[in-house]
Structure 1
Amino acid sequence: MKRRELLVGLAAGAIAAGSACEAQEGQARYTNEIALPKPKVAGSVSLEEAIERRRSVRTFGPGPLPVGTIGQLLWAGQGVTSPDGKRAAPSAGALYPLELYVVTATEVMHYLPHGHRAETRESPDLRPQLKDLAVGQASVGAAPALIVVAAEPGRLSQRYGARDKAYTDHEVGHAAENMLLQAVVLGLVAVTVGAVDGPRAARTLALPPGQTVVYLIPVGFPA
Structure 2
Amino acid sequence: MKRRELLVALAAGALAEGATRLAQGSEAQYTNEIALPKPSITGTVSLEEAIEKRRSVRNFAPKPLPVEAIGQLLWAGQGITNPDNGRRAAPSAGALYPLELYVVTAAEVMHYLPQGHRAQTRATHDLRPELRALAVNQRSVEEAPALLVVAAEPSRLTERYGARANLYADLEVGHATQNMLLQAVTLGLVAVTVGAVDGAPAARKLALPHGQTVVYLIPVGYPA
Q: TM-score normalised to the size of structure 2?
A: 0.89
1:37 aligns with 2:34: no
Percentage of identical aligned residues: 75
Any runs of at least 4 consecutive aligned residues in structure 1 with deviations exceeding 3 A, and if so which?
Answer: 22-25
1:183 shift after superposition: 0.1
Change (3 A) 1:24 1:134: closer
Letter of the 2:217 counterpart: L
Aligned partner of 1:77 in structure 2 is: 77
Distance, in Å, in 1 between the alignment partners of 2:96 and 2:25 is 27
Aligned partner of 1:115 in structure 2 is: 116
Aligned partner of 2:208 in structure 1 is: 207
Classify the secondary structure of the residue corresponding to 1:163.
Answer: helix
Gaps spanning 5+ residues in structure 2: where? 1-21
Aligned partner of 1:177 in structure 2 is: 178
Letter of the 1:196 counterpart: V
Classify the secondary structure of the residue corresponding to 2:216.
Answer: strand
Say if 2:102 and 2:111, in contact at 8 Å, map to a contact too.
Answer: yes
Gaps spanning 5+ residues in structure 1: where? 1-21
Say if 1:192 and 1:218, in contact at 8 Å, map to a contact too.
Answer: yes
Change (3 A) 1:176 1:124: same
Classify the secondary structure of the residue corresponding to 2:80.
Answer: coil
Classify the secondary structure of the residue corresponding to 2:88.
Answer: coil
Give the aligned CA root-mean-square deviation in angstroms. Answer: 1.2
Aligned partner of 2:151 in structure 1 is: 150
Letter of the 2:31 counterpart: T
Aligned partner of 2:66 in structure 1 is: 66
Say if 1:76 and 1:178, in contact at 8 Å, map to a contact too.
Answer: yes
Change (3 A) 1:98 1:131: same
Aligned partner of 2:14 in structure 1 is: none
1:63 shift after superposition: 1.2
Say if 1:152 and 1:211, in contact at 8 Å, map to a contact too.
Answer: yes
Aligned partner of 1:222 in structure 2 is: 223
Change (3 A) 1:24 1:191: closer
Say if 2:106 and 2:128, in contact at 8 Å, map to a contact too.
Answer: yes
Letter of the 1:36 counterpart: L
Distance, in Å, in 1 between the alignment partners of 2:36 and 2:25 is 28
1:215 shift after superposition: 0.1
Aligned partner of 2:136 in structure 1 is: 135
Distance, in Å, in 1 between the alignment partners of 2:115 and 2:36 is 11
Classify the secondary structure of the residue corresponding to 2:149.
Answer: strand
Classify the secondary structure of the residue corresponding to 2:132.
Answer: helix
Letter of the 2:66 counterpart: P
User: Structure 1, residues 33-86: CA drift from partner, whole Å, max 9, x if none?
Assistant: 000000000000000000000000000011110011100000000000002100
Aligned partner of 2:196 in structure 1 is: 195
1:26 aligns with 2:11: no
1:181 shift after superposition: 0.1
1:120 shift after superposition: 0.0
Say if 2:56 and 2:190, in contact at 8 Å, map to a contact too.
Answer: yes
Classify the secondary structure of the residue corresponding to 1:174.
Answer: helix
Change (3 A) 1:23 1:142: closer
Q: How many aligned positions are there?
A: 202
Classify the secondary structure of the residue corresponding to 1:81.
Answer: strand
1:167 shift after superposition: 0.2
Say if 1:189 and 1:222, in contact at 8 Å, map to a contact too.
Answer: yes
Say if 1:23 and 1:209, in contact at 8 Å, map to a contact too.
Answer: no
Distance, in Å, in 1 between the alignment partners of 2:156 and 2:195 is 22
Distance, in Å, in 2 between the alignment partners of 1:153 and 1:23 is 24
